[in-house]
Amino acid sequence: MDAVGVAPCQALTSLYSVIKWPDSLSEHPLCLSASPLLLQHPPLSSEPPSLCLSPSRVLISMANLLLTLSLWLLAGSHFVRATYYRHHRYIPHFYRYREHTANTDNLLPDVSNPVPEVTQSGGSTNQEIPEVFHPAPESVHPMPEVFHHVPEVVHPAPESYLPPQVHHPAAPVPPFSSRVFYGIMFDAGSTGTRIHIYKFIQKDPVELPVLDSEMYHAIKPGLSEYKYNPEEGGNTIRQLLKIAKKTVPEEEWKRTPVVLRATAGLRLLTEEQAEGILKEVREVFEESPFYVPINSVSIMNGINEGVLAWVTVNFLTGHLYSNTRRTVGILDLGGGSTQITFLPKSKKTIETAPSSYTARFSLFNNTYELYTHSYLKNGLIAARLATLGALGADGLDWKVFTSPCLPKKYRAEVTFGGNTYKVSGIPDGYAGYKLCYYEVQRVIKGIFHQPYEVKGTNVFYAFSHYFDRANETGLISERGGTVEVRDFKKKAKEVCNKMTKYRPISPFLCMDMTYITCLLKEGFGFKDSTVLHLAKKVNNVETSWALGATFDFFRNFNIH
Ligand SMILES: O=c1ccn([C@@H]2O[C@H](COP(=O)(O)OP(=O)(O)O)[C@@H](O)[C@H]2O)c(=O)[nH]1
HEC assignment per residue over 212-279: EEEEEEEECCCHHHHCCCHHHHHHHHHHHHHHHHHHCCHHHHHHCEEEEEECHHHHCCCHHHHHHHHH
Q: Does the annotation mark 305 as catalytic?
A: yes
Identify the pLDDT of residue 164. 40
Distance (angstroms) between ligand 1 centre and the Cα of 194 equals 8
Helix (H) or strand (E) holding 367: strand 366-376
Range of the domain at 40: 3-85
Q: Among 67, 85, 103, give the residue marking a domain's end.
A: 85
Closest CA to 227 of 265, 189, 172, 192: 265
Distance (angstroms) between ligand 1 centre and the Cα of 542 equals 10
Q: Is 222 assigned a ligand-binding role in the annotation?
A: no
Identify the pLDDT of residue 107. 61
**pLDDT (tens digit, 9 = 90+) per residue, 62-120?**
556 566 555 555 544 443 333 222 222 222 222 222 223 333 345 655 544 445 544 43
From 184, 185, 190, 191, give the residue whose CB has the most ligand 1 atoms within 8 Å, as the site to mutate.
191
Which residue CA neighbors atom 14 of ligand 1 most closely? 334
Identify the pLDDT of residue 283. 98
**Angle of helix 433-444 relative to helix 485-497, nearest 10 degrees?**
130
Q: Among 27, 58, 85, give the residue marking a domain's end.
A: 85
Which residue CA neighbors atom 10 of ligand 1 most closely? 334
Q: What's the CATH number where 410 sits?
A: 3.30.420.150
**Helices and strands (H and E) in the chain: how many:** 16, 20
From 185, 415, 464, 516, give the residue whose CB has the most ligand 1 atoms within 8 Å, as the site to mutate.
464
Assess if residue 228 is contained within a domain: no
Q: Return the SS3 of 471.
A: helix
Closest CA to 249 of 213, 205, 210, 290: 290
Task: Pick out the chain residues at pLDDT < 50.
Answer: 1-54, 58, 75-105, 111-114, 117-174
Distance (angstroms) between ligand 1 centre and the Cα of 434 equals 28
Assess if residue 279 is contained within a domain: no
Closest CA to 106 of 208, 204, 23: 208
Helix (H) or strand (E) holding 316: helix 302-316
Distance (angstroms) between ligand 1 centre and the Cα of 307 equals 16
Q: Return the SS3 of 103.
A: coil
Dist CA 223 CA 239 (whole Å): 13
Atom of ligand 1 at shortest range from CA of 196: 1
Q: Give me the phi and psi of 461, to 5 degrees please.
A: -100, 130
Which residue CA neighbors atom 21 of ligand 1 most closely? 464
Distance (angstroms) between ligand 1 centre and the Cα of 383 equals 15
Dist CA 65 CA 68 (whole Å): 5
Pocket of ligand 1 (CB under 6 A): 187, 189-192, 194, 222, 263-265, 334-337, 379, 464-465, 468, 536, 542, 544, 546
Q: Is 335 assigned a ligand-binding role in the annotation?
A: yes
Atom of ligand 1 at shortest range from CA of 464: 7
252, 280, 305, 439: the active-site residue? 305
**Angle of helix 433-444 relative to helix 509-518, nearest 10 degrees?**
50
Assess if residue 296 is contained within a domain: no
Assess if residue 525 is contained within a domain: yes
Total of domains in the chain: 2
Which residue CA neighbors atom 6 of ligand 1 most closely? 464
CB 378 within 8 A of CB 473: no
**pLDDT (tens digit, 9 = 90+) per residue, 264-321?**
999 999 999 999 999 999 999 999 999 999 999 999 999 999 999 999 999 999 998 7
Length of the chain: 560
Q: Among 54, 85, 116, give the residue marking a domain's end.
A: 85
Assess if residue 329 is contained within a domain: yes
Which residue CA neighbors atom 24 of ligand 1 most closely? 464
Q: Is 338 assigned a ligand-binding role in the annotation?
A: yes
Assess if residue 286 is contained within a domain: no
Identify the pLDDT of residue 363. 83
Q: 476 to each of 473, 479, 484, 532, how far by Cα in Å? A: 8, 8, 11, 11
Atom of ligand 1 at shortest range from CA of 222: 12
Q: Is 418 assigned a ligand-binding role in the annotation?
A: no
Distance (angstroms) between ligand 1 centre and the Cα of 375 equals 15
Assess if residue 372 is contained within a domain: yes
Assess if residue 299 is contained within a domain: no
Helix (H) or strand (E) holding 180: strand 179-188
Burial 198-220 (b: 16+ CB within 10 A, else e): bbbbbbeeeebbbbbbbbbeeee
Closest CA to 237 of 295, 286, 274: 286
Burial 424-461 (b: 16+ CB within 10 A, else e): bbbeeeebbbebbbebbbebbeeebbebbbbebbbbbb
